[in-house]
Amino acid sequence: MLEPSAPHNPLAGPWNGQPIVLVGLMGAGKSTVGRRLAQRLHLPFVDADAEIESAAGMTITEIFDRFGEGYFRDGERRVIARLIDGTPKVIATGGGAFINDETRALILTSAIAVWLDASPDVLAERVKRRDTRPLLRGRDPAQVLRDLAAVRNPIYAMAPIRVASHQAPHDTTVKAILEAITA
């Protein structure tokens, strides 16, 4: 009787098939870069925010408005716990997901966390294109992102892999992630 073969490891190096979870501030490119990374690795891509919206039957903005940030973060934690099921995939998280102690512990023990780090000025330029971010509504995006970076960057720094997200083609960031994972 033939034994089933192990899944093909699309990366050389130490990657063991754990989910790859992208963390960082809003606008860092987690969803866009995540899709391209998943394509390059021939893995499924999952956007945690889209999964939260699907599970709740409403947008993230509606969840924030109706129930508040605490309620949203609890649902976010549960959705991410469901997504990190041991199967290889790329997961893009919302900017606040890694800040939650339980969510961060789950990511750090059951996945490969990659921090996409970008300056607040780069992020502000990116996020001003869409008005869908509850933490930015009616506020100066550059100032909000500077404030968030001051609080969150030390927590994002707990991710074992840090990749700079510059004003460059997304494939540059994908290549940097692949190099970091295989180093």
pLDDT digits (tens, 9 = 90+) for 99-146: 999 999 999 999 999 999 998 888 878 777 665 555 556 667 788 889
Give the pair of three-digit tokens for residue 149: 């970076």
pLDDT digits (tens, 9 = 90+) for 40-52: 999 999 999 999 9
- Rounded percentage of the chain residues whose pLDDT exceeds 70: 85
Considering the entire predicted model, what is its pTM?
A: 0.86
Beta bridge partners of 114: 22, 161
Residue 4: pLDDT band with limits 50, 70, 90: very low
pLDDT digits (tens, 9 = 90+) for 68-107: 988 998 999 999 999 999 899 999 999 999 999 999 999 9
Residue 149 has pLDDT above 70, yes or no: yes
Helix (H) or strand (E) holding 115, with range, is: strand 112-117
Rounded Cα distance between 147 and 141, Å, is: 10
The Cα angle at residue 157 between residues 12 and 87, in degrees rounded to 5? 40
Kindly report the length of the chain: 183
Alpha-carbon dihedral 104, 89, 6, 78, rounded to 10 degrees: 50
Rounded to 10 deg, the angle between the 48-56 and 69-83 helix axes is 110
